[in-house]
């Protein structure tokens, strides 16, 4: 995983915490505390999906001195659940609870500073609140403090400290922490690398319903030792993740049904899941559908549909989709032939490092199609493609007497 991708992983962790906070706070036990009856009524309303009533009950409990209820009201205002979203109002409820030392409110207040919710974005201030929450044992505070160390955001970057705090949240049962701990073990960040421990934590998160972890359980078994791969379990985890809307898991289910991996081969089910992923914006699924429609593989040949899916992927910035659109314009598949337009799309793909786009662009320069013939440019693009083991580019160079 590149440095940029690792950073994205930490950002996903932080963003994920923004959306799971309500359930985490509601889990606190409140028996015997101020406003217990109102809090209990609010919790019941929340579980019934009646967020407006939930807020009203939590406000009444908060007015009786229940800090958990006060924190929840702040979260509901931040998220716009049962009330109009209002960051300033959220802070009005959160800050007093945080200043009174309630850990969940402290981590929430830190999140507001990190994301700039109702306050000027201030990573250092966010970290200070995360520390207060984490040191009290608040799992979300520990998770977010670990993420801050992992990113070096508001505090000096420290992989070992990131691991320390995320581990603390994970052992408390936080599924997002468990999921990220799996990646830390997989990459050896702040801890000795261990695929076995990585899978252990992915499984813990997966069993709690974390879709990303469910995907990683299946994918980890597929890329791991063959004798440790249980294809039925692979299929099970991909299914669970796909049913929660995980797009890559949907595409993997397509492969499972297509190849009979852990399930009986079924082209109709394979195409169902491929369409589900494509229609939700998964560019690789869109490209696969494009090629299937162009060639009539598993579906009736449909050139208009082929172009449609290639263009969908291309508009998402996928280089293979851009190449596919270029090929459609060159060959008149689903559109009128237009070699100049083909060159435009080939160049977009080639500039992203796509070897098919590089070869196609080189060929256009070689033959003077859509551009002025330029052998130096042709050779440049052929070599870039050949450097990625593109067979056609290697053959073109050999024909020009420039092969290895």
CATH of the domain at 371: 1.25.40.10
∠ CA 129-111-48, rounded to 5°: 120
| Contact in structure between 359 and 389 (CB atoms under 8 Å) | no
Residue 102 domain-assigned? no
Q: What's this model's pTM, rounded to 2 decimal places?
A: 0.85
Average pLDDT over residues 150-154: 96
Average pLDDT over residues 364-373: 96
Residue 382 domain-assigned? yes
Residue 404 domain-assigned? no
How does the average pLDDT of the chain come out, rounded?
Answer: 92
| Contact in structure between 383 and 393 (CB atoms under 8 Å) | yes
Question: How far lies 278's CA from each of 20, 281, 312, in Å?
Answer: 27, 5, 9
pLDDT value, residue 78: 96
**Would the pLDDT of 404 be above 70?**
no
349 CB-contact burial (10 Å; exposed 0-12 / middle 13-18 / buried 19+): buried
Instruction: Return the residue matching tokens 């299929």.
Output: 235
pLDDT value, residue 22: 44
pLDDT tens track for 53-84: 999 999 999 999 999 999 999 999 999 999 99
Average pLDDT over residues 356-385: 97
Helices 67-79 and 51-63, axial angle in degrees (round to 10): 140
**Would the pLDDT of 155 be above 90?**
yes
Helices 36-47 and 67-79, axial angle in degrees (round to 10): 30
Sign of CA dihedral 335, 338, 341, 342: positive
pLDDT value, residue 6: 44
Q: Which long-range contacts (CB under 8 A, 24 or more apart) does 179-187 make?
A: 179/205, 179/210, 179/212, 179/213, 179/216, 180/9, 180/10, 180/13, 180/143, 180/146, 180/147, 182/213, 182/216, 183/9, 184/159, 187/1, 187/6
Q: Which residues contact 106 (CB under 8 A, 6 or more apart)?
A: 98, 129, 130, 132, 133, 136, 138, 141
**How many Å apart are CA 368 and CA 361, to the nearest integer?**
10
Residue 336 domain-assigned? yes
In sequence order, what DSSP letters do the residues of 114-183 get, joined into one string?
HHTSSS---HHHHHHHHHHHHHTT-HHHHHHHHHHHHHTSSS---HHHHHHHHHHHHHTT-HHHHHHHHH
**Would the pLDDT of 4 be above 80?**
no
Residue 172 domain-assigned? no
pLDDT value, residue 3: 42
Residue 26 domain-assigned? no
**Would the pLDDT of 170 be above 80?**
yes
Q: What percent of the chain shows pLDDT beyond 90?
A: 88
SS3 (DSSP) at 353? coil
pLDDT value, residue 207: 97
Q: What percent of the chain shows pLDDT beyond 70?
A: 92
pLDDT band at 402 (very low <50, low <70, confident <90, very high): confident
pLDDT tens track for 102-145: 999 999 999 999 999 999 999 999 999 999 999 999 999 999 99
Length of the chain: 404
pLDDT tens track for 273-316: 999 999 999 999 999 999 999 999 889 999 999 999 999 999 99
User: Which of 3, 11, 43 has its CA nearest to residue 27?
Assistant: 43
pLDDT value, residue 225: 80
**111 half-sphere exposure, CB direction, 13 A CA radius:** 33
| Contact in structure between 179 and 212 (CB atoms under 8 Å) | yes
| Contact in structure between 223 and 229 (CB atoms under 8 Å) | no
Q: Where are the alpha helices (DSSP H) in 300-374?
A: 303-315, 319-331, 339-351, 355-367
Residue 381 domain-assigned? yes
Residue 377 domain-assigned? yes
**How many Å apart are CA 58 and CA 28, to the nearest integer?**
14
**Would the pLDDT of 11 be above 60?**
no
Domain housing 342: 281-399
pLDDT band at 19 (very low <50, low <70, confident <90, very high): very low
pLDDT tens track for 200-249: 999 999 999 999 999 999 999 998 887 778 999 999 999 999 999 999 99
pLDDT value, residue 227: 74
Sign of CA dihedral 66, 69, 73, 78: positive
pLDDT value, residue 298: 87
Higher pLDDT, 132 or 9: 132
**Would the pLDDT of 13 be above 70?**
no
∠ CA 226-205-167, rounded to 5°: 105
Total domains, the chain? 1
**How many Å apart are CA 287 and CA 285, to the nearest integer?**
5
């Amino acid at each position: 995983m590149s440095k940029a991708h690792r950073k994205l992983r930490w950002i996903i962790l932080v963003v994920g915490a923004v959306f799971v906070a309500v359930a985490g706070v509601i889990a606190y036990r409140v028996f015997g505390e101020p406003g217990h009856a109102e809090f209990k009524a609010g919790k019941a309303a929340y579980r019934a999906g009646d967020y407006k009533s939930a807020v009203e009950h939590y406000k009444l409990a908060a007015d009786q001195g229940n800090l958990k209820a006060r924190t929840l009201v702040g979260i509901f205002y931040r998220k716009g659940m049962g009330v109009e979203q209002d960051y300033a109002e959220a802070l009005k409820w959160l800050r007093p609870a945080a200043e009174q030392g309630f850990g969940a409110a402290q981590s929430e207040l830190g999140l507001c500073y990190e994301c700039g919710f109702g306050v000027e974005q201030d990573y250092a201030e966010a970290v200070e609140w995360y520390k207060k929450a984490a040191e009290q044992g608040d799992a979300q505070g520990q998770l977010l403090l670990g993420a801050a160390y992992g990113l070096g955001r508001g505090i000096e970057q420290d992989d070992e400290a990131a691991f320390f705090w995320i581990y603390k949240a994970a052992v408390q049962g936080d599924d997002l922490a468990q999921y990220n701990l799996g990646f830390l073990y997989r990459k050896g960040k702040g801890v000795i690398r261990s695929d076995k421990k990585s899978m252990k934590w992915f499984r813990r998160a997966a069993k709690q319903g974390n879709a990303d972890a469910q995907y990683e359980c299946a994918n980890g078994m597929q890329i791991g030792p063959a004798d440790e791969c249980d294809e039925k379990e692979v299929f099970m985890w991909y299914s669970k993740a796909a049913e929660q809307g995980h797009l890559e898991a949907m595409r993997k289910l397509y492969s499972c049904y297509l190849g009979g991996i852990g399930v009986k081969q079924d082209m109709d089910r394979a195409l169902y899941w491929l369409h589900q992923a494509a229609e939700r914006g998964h560019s690789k699924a869109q490209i696969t559908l494009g090629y299937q429609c162009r060639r009539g593989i598993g579906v009736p040949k449909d050139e208009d549909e082929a172009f449609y899916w290639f263009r969908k992927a291309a508009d998402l910035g996928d280089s293979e989709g851009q190449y596919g659109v270029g090929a459609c314009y060159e060959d008149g598949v689903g559109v009128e032939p237009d070699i100049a337009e083909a060159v435009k799309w080939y160049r977009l793909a080639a500039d992203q490092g796509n070897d098919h786009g590089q070869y196609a662009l080189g060929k256009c320069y070689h033959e003077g199609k859509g551009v002025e013939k330029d052998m130096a440019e042709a050779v440049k693009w052929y070599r870039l493609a050949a450097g990625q083991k593109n067979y056609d580019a290697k053959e073109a160079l050999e024909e020009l007497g420039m092969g290895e």
